[in-house]
A and B are shown apart, each in its own frame.
Chain A
Amino acid sequence: MSEANGKVYSLLFAGVGGQGVLLGAEVTALAAVREGYDVKQTEVHGVSQRGGSVETHVRFGTKVWSPVVTPGKADLVVGLEALEALRFAHFGDRQHGVILVNQHEIIPGSVKDAERDYPHGSAEFIRSRGYRVLAMEASRLASELGDGRMANVVMLGAVSTFLPLSHETWLDALRQRIPERFRQPNLQAFAAGREAAAR
């Protein structure tokens, strides 16, 4: 706790409904609770989950007021999909924050000419706007580990390297949140994400 000194950490997770955007936020929140922080988190429910753009915010520190992150103030913006990273990059703190981008593209299904108009090269573009960007191959890494759907946990492994929460706490939070039959591959995905971020 002493490390916080009144600082509130702000994270935004973004992705496409069905990618498990909420899971990363939930595990982060659980980990922060385990280390004694005050924690607030937003969730998205209802129709927006159906393949639409989904965002969820997590904030933790000694005392947190708003659960909602202000644009320009996020320590980490975690994009589970490239276009969604682009959509929410401006929430990142340009001086101290990091934008994590999963180099994975999902064409919006309910937009005319989306295949033609999809904006390729988000990570480079965000970087060119003065943000610190960590581009990840999370979906590819997750597929190599047996299931592309674990990309969210790979990204979470990378997230964990930027926050003042112990490795053991992260593993406990993952064990708390992920059912036993999926646990082992997810712990591997988490480790892969940590390793990729350290490189």
Chain B
Amino acid sequence: MKRELLLGNQAIARGAWEAGVEFAAGYPGTPSTEILETLSRYPEVHAQWSANEKVAFEEGMGAAIGGLRTLVTMKHVGLNVAADPFMVFPYAGTNGGFLVISADDPGMHSSQNEQDNRYLARMAKVPVLEPSDAQECKDFVKLALELSETFATPVMMRTTTRLAHHKSLVSLGERQQVARRSFERDPRRFSVPIYRRLLRPQVEARLERLKQLVETLPINRVEPGESRVGVVTSGIAYQYVKEVLPEAGVLRLGVTYPLPAALLQDFCGHHETVYVVEEGEAFIEEFMRSIGITNLQGKDRFGVIDEYSPGRLATALGLEAVPGPLNGDLKILPRPPMFCVGCGHRTVFSALRQLKVTVAGDIGCYTMGALYPYEASHTTFCMGASIGTAFGLERAGEERVVALIGDSTFVHAGIPSLIDAVYNGSRLTLVILDNATTGMTGGQPHPASGKSITGADAPRLDLQAMCRACGVEQVQLADTWDRKAVLGALRKALAHPGPAVVIAQGPCQQLPEMKHRDLLPFYVDEGLCTQCEACFKVWCPAIARNDRDFPEIVADQCTACTVCAQVCPTEAIYPVAQVPA
């Protein structure tokens, strides 16, 4: 059988393809994004980016009750957005297999919070699977879809960052043909609220049957070891346990909701001390304590914050001292991420900084505008929160409030907020950073980008018309690389007596169509340069200081965005083609 090195996320996509999934939807979010990107390359599957996770979930719900095997993907906070359908879907239950991937991000590599979505699944009474390597990422997708169909329940698979973004070997199989089911109109199941009371006991009955099943399901696996120490673990943490405690008995839980009470009691009865090693909250541990198991140690020993690692386990167990960073004469400077060379967001932040306005930011690369050197974005919470937060700050007396949001985030969750701000009498200024993509997650198309997930042309949402339709009278479009245009538009918007929108437009430099342009890089003419430092204040990573203390543009990085040339008072910066012979 062919084996390939796959990312956990790629393996999930492969599993969905092999299991006969026909519909897949989601919204980009680290660490989940590569699942749909991979799946979109299989012609047998309709994969799509949806406007947001709630929409993706609901589309998936429709596809599944319509009979299709369905995959819906999102990061942990995406499931908050989709929580509404997630909580009610289990009542009706599914027809075709329905699997939602929740990619949790302990350590907050690319997130605003840590959140263990097993609690959300428990609240929704939805079973949870947790694979431990890429092979299981693939295999569990198939298993989850079978469970989903057998029990007519949506199923959740929880991954965490290291699982989603590690590569390991996966045996590849063929695509399975699944018998097509069809939708049946059944008001008792799908529509009238009064019947929900009749469905309610069925949810409990299903859960009871699942509780029986998980006692013997092979993915809840006991690996015998010494009797002194046993470990209950799940997910990627299983690998760390095997690395650090090779002799211990292990109960690896492939299903973490519902949990197998008898199996856990039996395992703990055969070991003196049981460690519970799980990334995230004390989800398994709390259950074990609730059924009267006392010989265990979990979060008190290993901690609840941040992701796990073998080094962390070894340290917590007192097995060895893991060295820390070298300290001494040399100071290890931090290196946070920064705007790319030629990023169109720079001009907006430099204008906002200059105008000294209060800025409510949103979720995207532009969260970095809060950091040095701009320090011009003052709040970041969750998708779409900029507009509502700005509105509230304005009510609280902040003058000249700007909401700042990306194009993809605006479509995701900004539109109702803009309608609301207009309706409730705000005069905030909204800046839409329109870079024609979902930048932070690596450049996924969205409804306002005019492209589909495969790169094909798609109907394009007109952001200007959208804002006008929301009731905004002053809507301005500015070339984001034109410093004066951006600053002028902002000034005009702030002076406007009603709500105003500035769309700062220019594609993300990471998009293939931007990267593969044949442009002449810019160059600093040292004969004209007065070493005034103005160009350094553009904070472009392609502008370095050379041995002669002059600015020098790294030619193979320059995107010819022209912003440094715009700030140069002596016109010493121009394209290489104009260099005098």
Interface residues of A (CB under 8 A from B): 16-18, 29-30, 33, 38-53, 64-68, 70-72, 83-84, 86-87, 89-90, 94, 107-112, 114-115, 117-119, 121-122, 125-126, 129, 147-149
Contacts and interface: CB of A to CB of B under 8 A. Distances in A.
B110 A48 contact: yes
B314 interface: yes
25 contacts: A40-B167, A45-B442, A46-B442, A47-B337, A47-B368, A48-B110, A50-B337, A50-B339, A50-B365, A66-B310, A67-B236, A70-B311, A71-B322, A71-B324, A83-B335, A87-B325, A109-B338, A110-B373, A110-B539, A111-B334, A115-B545, A118-B333, A119-B331, A119-B332, A126-B326
A110 B541 CA distance: 9
B302 to A, nearest CB: 15
B71 to A, nearest CB: 19
Interface of B: 3, 5, 7, 30-31, 33-34, 109-110, 133, 162, 165-169, 236, 239-240, 242-243, 309-311, 314, 322-326, 328-340, 365, 367-368, 371-373, 440-442, 539, 541, 544-545, 556
A65 B242 contact: yes
A52 B335 contact: yes
B336 A66 contact: no
Nearest to A125: B330
Nearest to A57: B166
Q: Please name the 6 residue pairs, one residue from A and one from B, whose CB atoms are nearest each other, closest first.
A: A46-B110, A52-B337, A46-B30, A119-B330, A50-B337, A67-B166
A66 B240 contact: yes
A121 B337 contact: no
A111 B5 contact: no
Majority SS at the chain B contact face: loop
A114 to B, nearest CB: 6
B542 to A, nearest CB: 10
Nearest to A48: B337
Given A68-B162, A110-B338, A111-B336, 4 more contacts: A44-B165, A86-B326, A111-B335, A125-B326
A112 B337 CA distance: 14
A48 B323 contact: no
A17 B310 CA distance: 25
Nearest to B325: A90
A188 to B, nearest CB: 17
A50 B340 contact: yes
B346 to A, nearest CB: 11
Nearest to B311: A70
Contacts of B333: 83, 108, 111, 114, 117-119
Contacts of B166: 40-43, 67-68
B372 A112 contact: yes
A96 B329 CA distance: 25
A53 B169 contact: no
A108 B31 CA distance: 25
B245 to A, nearest CB: 11
Contacts of A71: 311, 322-324
B331 A117 contact: yes
B330 A43 contact: no
B541 A109 contact: yes
B129 to A, nearest CB: 20
Given A33-B169, A65-B243, A48 B109 contact: yes
A65 B236 CA distance: 10
Contacts of A49: 337
A68 B330 contact: no
In this complex, the member of A44, A51, A114 whose beta carbon has the largest number of chain B beta carbons within 10 angstroms is A51
A155 B168 CA distance: 24
A68 to B, nearest CB: 5
Nearest to A148: B556
Contacts of B442: 45-46
B326 A30 contact: no
Given A29-B167, A41-B167, A86 B109 contact: no
A147 B7 CA distance: 30
A114 B440 CA distance: 25
A126 B541 CA distance: 27
Contact of B322 (A41, A72, A83, A126): A72
In this complex, the member of A46, A86, A114, A148 whose beta carbon has the largest number of chain B beta carbons within 10 angstroms is A46
A125 B131 CA distance: 42
A109 B330 CA distance: 19
Contact of A72 (B110, B323, B330): B323
B325 A39 contact: no
A110 B168 contact: no
A90 B162 CA distance: 21
B168 A39 contact: yes
Contact of A67 (B239, B371, B541): B239
Given A67-B162, A110-B373, A39 B5 contact: yes
